[in-house]
Structure 1
Amino acid sequence: MEFIEAYNLTGLIIGICTFLIIGFFHPVVVKAEYYWGTGCWWIFLVLGIVGTVAALLVSNVLWSSLLGVFAFSSFWTIKEIFEQEERVRKGWFPANPKKIKKSS
Structure 2
Amino acid sequence: MSLNFYGLIIGIVMLISTGIGHIIVIKGEYHFGTKLWPLFLIVGILSISLSFIIESMLLSGSLGIIGITFLWGIHEIIEQKERVNRGWFPKKRNG
Same fold (TM over 0.5): yes
2:18 matches 1:22: yes
Name the amino acid aligned to 1:77: G
Deviations 1:4-40, CA, capped at 9 Å, x for gaps = xx53111110011111111111011000000000001
2:47 aligned partner: 51
Q: Give unpaired runs (5+ residues) of structure 1.
A: 1-5, 100-104
Structure whose CA Rg is larger: 1
- The two structures have a TM-score, normalised by structure 2, of 0.95
Give 4+ residue runs of structure 1 displaced > 4 Å after superposition. none
2:62 matches 1:73: no
**How many residues are aligned here?**
94
Deviations 1:44-103, CA, capped at 9 Å, x for gaps = 00000110111001011111110000000000000000000000000000000028xxxx
- Alpha-carbon RMSD across the aligned residues, in angstroms, is 1.1
- The two structures have a TM-score, normalised by structure 1, of 0.87
Counterpart of 1:92 in 2: which secondary structure?
coil
Q: Percent identity?
A: 39
